[in-house]
Amino acid sequence: MTPNTPAFSLRLARDEADLHAAQRLRYDVFVRELGGDGTLVDHDAGLERDRFVPWFEHLLVIDEARAGAVVGVYRLMPPEKRAEADQYYSEDEYDLSPLRATGRRLLELGRSCVHGDYRGGAAMFHLWQGLGAYVVEREIDVLFGVASFHGTNIEALKAPLSLLAARHLAPPDLRVRARSYQAMNLVPVDQIDRVAAMRSVPALIKAYLRLGGFVGDGAFIDHAFNTTDVCLVMDTARMSESVTATYTAGAR
């Protein structure tokens, strides 16, 4: 796939064909590219999926100039779907009691990815815009979800994890905690090369931080998926007006 002039559109997955297109893209990124796996991953069909499939909605970025190819995806679990599923995906890794105790409307985000040929361009921006519209329409207060560093070598990740813990730890009312706890404050603050450490932080996590996001307490090592996860939390009430305007542009 070599895009020339993408013509992007956005929609929620509306049928099994859309869902399979999203799962094929996730398989390409998370399994083929990053080496992930899982008990329900369908290697024969090339589909990345898990037991939460029935309860997530899938936001798709589509390149209409490429025969309607799905080139970006976000999966979303609003409160109503969580009630049906009886738990969020993230609850396997993090204690979300502080978020639920707020009584506010929560939205879980996950499995965000963009086709390799579209990274660094407008596709991710369209995903964010679509997410902003969804948040406004569903009257969401707090967004959260796990985001990943590739690999499980904590020694290699100690600087960026320490930087996140030192500078971006969630306030107490939003501070979820890893169940299988991996400490993140592994390097004294005055010994962190902040520029180098931030360079090692995945682009998606940096995007959340720019929007005013926080990280929970502790990382979770996901050996099956070959990742080290952090839980990101964004409170729409704490986001600055300028950030909110950019994030939700065109949402109303």
pLDDT at 224: 81
Q: Residue 84 contacts by C-beta under 8 Å, 6 or more apart in sequence?
A: 54, 55
Query: How would you write the pLDDT of the chain (252 residues) with one tens digit per residue?
Result: 444 577 889 999 999 999 999 999 999 998 888 888 878 889 999 999 988 988 999 999 999 888 889 999 999 999 999 889 889 999 999 999 999 999 999 999 988 889 988 887 788 888 888 999 999 999 999 999 999 998 999 999 999 999 999 999 999 999 999 999 999 999 999 999 999 999 999 888 998 898 889 999 999 999 888 899 999 999 998 875 545 555 555 544
| pLDDT for the residue 242 | 46
pLDDT of residue 1: 46
pLDDT of amino acid 252 = 44
Those residues with Cβ within 8 angstroms of residue 228's Cβ, 6 or more apart along the chain or in another chain: 148, 149, 151, 152, 154, 157, 161, 182, 219, 220, 221, 222
Quote the pLDDT of residue 226: 85
The per-residue pLDDT for 128 is: 86
Write 40-47 long-range contacts (CB < 8 A, 24+).
45/20, 47/20, 47/23
What pLDDT, on the 0 to 100 scale, is given for residue 244? Answer: 56
- Whether 232 contacts 145, CB under 8 Å: yes
DSSP conformation class of 171 = P
Q: Three-state DSSP class for 94?
A: strand
Cβ atoms of 107 and 76 within 8 Å: the answer is yes
Strand partners, 134: none
The predicted pLDDT at position 145 comes to: 95
CA 96, CA 178: separation in Å to the nearest integer? 9
Contacts of 242 (CB under 8 A, 6+ apart): none
